[in-house]
Amino acid sequence: MKIKRHIPSLFTIINLFLGFLAILNVQLGNYNLACYFILIAGFLDSMDGKIARAFGISTDFGMEIDSLADMVSFCLAPSVMVYHLYTFDLPGILGEIIAAAPLIFGAIRLARFNVNSSNEPSSVFIGLPTPAAALSIAALVLFTTQERYINPEYTQPRLILPAIFCIAFLMVSKVNYPKFPLLNMRSGFANTLFIFLLITFFITFIMGLIYNFESRVLMLFTGLYIFTGIFKQFFNSETQKMKITIL
């Protein structure tokens, strides 16, 4: 019983260690490997909370250590990677400021979540979750690394840095993003569809690893997640305006 209590925290600690490995490999120039460590950390982060709830052992300690692990793996590691890859030609401290965006906005996002977690809707995140932001940045890095041999324009900081800043800013936005589904098929059509998309992602990602197009798969699915939230928010706002106009 005591061992079961610590299983979610074990997942969280491994997540934290993977964040450290990601930063270490960025320093060594192994950017692709750093991205894969972030991807694995993202998977573990999606599991620790589910395991805690399944076992009925959610604790304040678990929430706090999870936030600290997320800070390293999904905020600090992407910022260090952005700094090393894309800011070398920027004047003054502009590069440092842009590179710090995932860290700064991510810290605000995590603090806001911890303070408001009891008031946050059960079906959505308010603002892009830090793991999703980190996975999106990792997808961009992998994409630019793999595609630079086809079109060097893909690696230009003037294209990459604005995208990274926008991803970081979405973490502190009010855009709603769907939470990952429960591990069952009984929670309605939307949940079942989301599970289907996750299974599709894993299958296509494995094929991508085999045939060297995994960066495109990551770009497709992270982009789909990001823009789904934005379009849904815009659609809901327009619908609300129409209701007000009609009334």
**How many Å from the N-terminal Cα to the C-terminal Cα in the chain?**
58
What pLDDT is recorded for position 18?
98
pLDDT in tens, 170-204: 999 999 998 865 555 455 666 677 778 778 888 99
pLDDT in tens, 35-60: 999 999 999 998 877 777 666 777 77
pLDDT in tens, 120-144: 666 789 999 999 999 999 999 998 8
How far apart are alpha carbons 20 and 167 in whole angstroms? 22
pLDDT band at residue 243, thresholds of 50, 70 and 90?
very low
192: Cα within 13 Å, side-chain hemisphere? 5
Nearest partner of 81 among 127, 24, 18, 5, judged by Cα:
24
Percent residues over pLDDT 90 in the chain? 51
Q: What is the mean pLDDT of residues 95-121?
A: 88
Q: With 70 as the cut, is the pLDDT of residue 227 above it?
A: yes
Radius of gyration of the chain (CA): 19
How far apart are alpha carbons 226 and 116 in whole angstroms? 22
Cα 240 to its chain centre, rounded Å, is 29
Question: What is the DSSP code string of 62-123?
Answer: HHHHHHHHHIIIIIIHHHHHHHHHH-TTS-TTHHHHHHTHHHHHHHHHHHHHHHHTTTS-SS
Task: Name which of 21-30, 150-159, 161-170 the model is least confident about.
Answer: 150-159
Q: With 70 as the cut, is the pLDDT of residue 237 above it?
A: no
Give the CATH fold of the 2-180 domain. Answer: Four Helix Bundle (Hemerythrin (Met), subunit A) (1.20.120)
